[in-house]
Amino acid sequence: MSNFVFPPAEIPSAPVRGTDARYAVRRIFCVGRNYADHAREMGSDPTREPPFYFTKPATALTPSGATVPYPAATRDYHHEMELVIALGAPVFKATPEAAAAAIWGYAPGLDMTRRDLQAEAKAAGRPWDTAKGFDQSAILGEIVRASEVGPLARGAITLAVNGVQKQRGDLADMIWSQAEIVSNLSQLYRLHPGDLIYTGTPAGVGAVAAGDVLTGRIEGLGEISLTVGPAE
């Protein structure tokens, strides 16, 4: 038995719809600008250039229904509603067909962002870690097994703040499909069960404030919610 200096951290995990089992999370990858309308609102050209990625630590994982404090070091805290892929098999240098077979499930997710820190990082050519990978920045709903819902080629994706709709798109509007994303990412990493991929957000991202209640929905997957608490 190993003798640890400190007790090992608890393994981050997410519920699986219809079961008592939990999905252990290994890594969190995120795709930048995967909807043309969102690319335009962020000042980019929505061509099919290769997708690019950033990561969040698995410790940023936070369940749907949580109340999280307004994060430190920002005055521009944004919501981004996303489809999340949960992998269930190893993938490396895979074709889109092989990549699709490795998708175990899907979930609604929120990629919460310190937008002012992201803008500063972009302007200085620096990494996005402090803007994207902060505590409680990866909100995740229940994972639904792919065998229950199929490939999810289309379906409405929406987000409301205090009951007012802010984001609305369709999964069919994604520049890169789920299989293409997994295939492309597998050229860069050896992917494994437990890896999550946030697949990008439609247009309509915006700032939230303490007291706001966010409710997102993806057709076929159900809802996700988050309450923004006071700053710590």
Domain boundaries, the chain: 13-229
pTM of the model: 0.95
The region that residue 144 occupies, defined by phi over 0 for left and psi between -120 and 50 for alpha, beta otherwise, is beta
**End-to-end alpha carbon distance in the chain:** 39
Percent of the chain at pLDDT above 90? 90
Supply the mean pLDDT for the chain.
95
pLDDT at 163: 98
Q: How far apart (Å, rounded) are the C-alpha atoms in residues 81 and 157?
A: 8
The CATH code for residues 13-229 is 3.90.850.10
pLDDT at 136: 98
Distance of CA 166 to the CA centre of its chain: 17
pLDDT-wise least confident of 9-13, 42-46, 213-217:
42-46
pLDDT at 93: 98
Percent of the chain at pLDDT above 70? 95
Q: How far apart (Å, rounded) are the C-alpha atoms in residues 22 and 194?
A: 11
pLDDT at 43: 65
pLDDT band at 45; cut points 50, 70, 90: low
> What average pLDDT does this structure show over 120-137?
97
pLDDT at 103: 98
Q: Starting at the earlier edge strand, list the strands of the sheet with 206-207.
A: 113-114, 77-79, 206-207
pLDDT-wise least confident of 49-53, 186-190, 220-224:
49-53
pLDDT at 42: 65
Per the CB < 8 A criterion, the answer to whether 29 and 199 are in contact is no
Strands 81-87 and 195-198: antiparallel
Phi and psi torsions of 172, nearest 5°: -65, -15
Counting Cα atoms < 13 Å in the Cβ hemisphere of 216 gives 33
49 pLDDT higher than 80: no
pLDDT band at 232; cut points 50, 70, 90: confident
pLDDT at 50: 84
